Amino acid sequence: MKIGFVGLGNMGGPMAANLVAAGHAVAGYDPVSVLPEGVRPCADAAQAAAGAEVVITMLPSGDVLRGVAAQLVPAMAPGAVLLDCSTVDVDSARAVADLAAAAGLRALDAPVSGGVGGAAAGTLTFMVGGPSDAVETARPLFDVMGARMVHCGPAGNGQAAKICNNMILGATMAVTCEAFALADRLGLERQAMFDVVSTSSGNSWSISTYCPAPGVGPVSPADNDYRPGFAAELMLKDLRLSQQAAVQVDADTPLGACATTLYENFVEGPGEDGRGRDFSALLARFESHGRRAQ
C-alpha cells in the first residue's frame, strides 16, 4: 500500500519502520524527528498525504491533530483513510472524523497500547473507532504494526476505550505501588509479596507483567532504573483526558480523579521526580513518604 505517515517520533518511527519492512511504500513527515530508513522524506504533511491510500498520524495532542488534519484532508484522495493513532480527547477525534467525511474521506481513531517496545516489536494493541469499511482497508497495516485490533464502534470510541483502559491502569499501578511500600514497612519481603498477589485476587497487569518493584517478576522498567517504557508524563496526559471526558458526560470517577492528582504531584509537584521516568516509578514516591507527611 501507499502510505503517508505524519509524526515519526518514539512511537511513529518504529511503526513506520515496520511498515517499510513489510513492503509498504511509506512517505513521511516530522518537523523534528529523524525518519527511519526506507521512509521517503517529505517537505510537509500535505506532501506526505498526496496520493496515499492511508495516511497515519501519531501526534501529541488534540489541538495538534486538528491542525495537522486541516493540512492533510485537502491533500488526500477521495476515499482514502485517515488513520490517527494518537491518544487525544474524544471531541477532537470526532471533529477530525467529521472533517474527513465532509471531504469524502474515511477516518479512524486508533490509539495504541504497548508503548515504545510494542511499537518496535509490532505487538501493539489498537483500539479503533470509525466505519467498518475503513477498518478493513487498514487491517493489513494493523496486522503489521500490532498483535491485536479491536473495533470499538463509531468515531471517537477508540479514544474512549483508550482513556478508560488507562484510567484503570493508572489507578491499579498507584495502588500496587502503595501496597509494595506498605509491605516494606510491615517487613514483608517483596518476592513473597509478588508470589502471593500475582496468584491471588489482588493480581493485575501492574503486578504480573509490569511489576514496579525492581528484581521481582518479569523484567520491567523498574529493572532499568525506571527508564520509561511508558513515561509518567504520558500517564498523566491520559488520566487528564479521562477526567476531561468524565466532566463532559457527568460521570463519577473518584478513583480516576485520585490517580490523576497523584500523578500530577509526582510529575509536576515540588520536590517530586517523576518527570522523565516510567509511570511505575511512583513506587519511589510512596517509599519516601509516610502517612504523617500527607
pLDDT digits (tens, 9 = 90+) for 220-264: 999 999 999 899 999 999 999 999 999 999 999 999 999 999 999
CATH of domain 161-288: 1.10.1040.10
CATH of domain 2-154: 3.40.50.720
Predicted pLDDT of residue 155:
97
Q: 108 - beta bridge partners?
A: 83
251 CB-near residues (< 8 Å, 6+ apart): 245
Using the predicted structure, report yes or no on whether residue 58 has a pLDDT greater than 60. Answer: yes
Of the residues 162, 237, 277, 285, which is catalytic? Answer: 162
What integer best gives the mean pLDDT of the chain?
96
Q: 112 - beta bridge partners?
A: 126
| Rounded Cα gap, residues 282 and 174, in angstroms | 7
Mean pLDDT of 63-78: 97
Q: 149 - beta bridge partners?
A: 126
Clarify whether 237 is annotated catalytic: no
Domain boundaries, the chain: 2-154, 161-288
Render 91-149 in DSSP notation, one character per residue.
HHHHHHHHHHHHTT-EEEE--EESHHHHHHHT-EEEEEES-HHHHHHHHHHHHHHEEEE
Residue 293: pLDDT band (50, 70, 90) is low
In this structure, is the dihedral angle defined by the CA atoms of residues 8, 6, 20 and 117, taken in order, positive or negative?
positive
What pairing do the DSSP bridges indicate for beta strands 25-29 and 81-84?
unpaired
Backbone phi, psi, residue 150, to 5° = -120, 120
Would you call 4 helix, strand, or coil by DSSP?
A: strand
Predicted pLDDT of residue 252:
98
What would you report as the CA-atom Rg of the chain, rounded to the nearest whole angstrom?
Answer: 20
Same-fold call for 2-154 versus 161-288: no
Q: 29 - beta bridge partners?
A: 6
End-to-end, the C-alpha distance of the chain in Å comes to: 55
**Which carries the bigger pLDDT value, residue 70 or residue 272?**
70
- Give the tens place of pLDDT for each residue, 162-173: 999 999 999 999
Predicted pLDDT of residue 294:
53
Which pTM value belongs to this model? Answer: 0.92
Predicted pLDDT of residue 229:
87
- Give the tens place of pLDDT for each residue, 194-217: 999 999 999 999 999 999 999 999
Q: How many CB atoms lie within 10 A of CB 99?
A: 17
Residue 115: pLDDT band (50, 70, 90) is confident
Q: Which residues of 29-67 are buried (b: 16+ CB within 10 A; e: fewer)?
A: bbeeeebbeebeebeebbbbbeebbbbbbbbeebeebbe
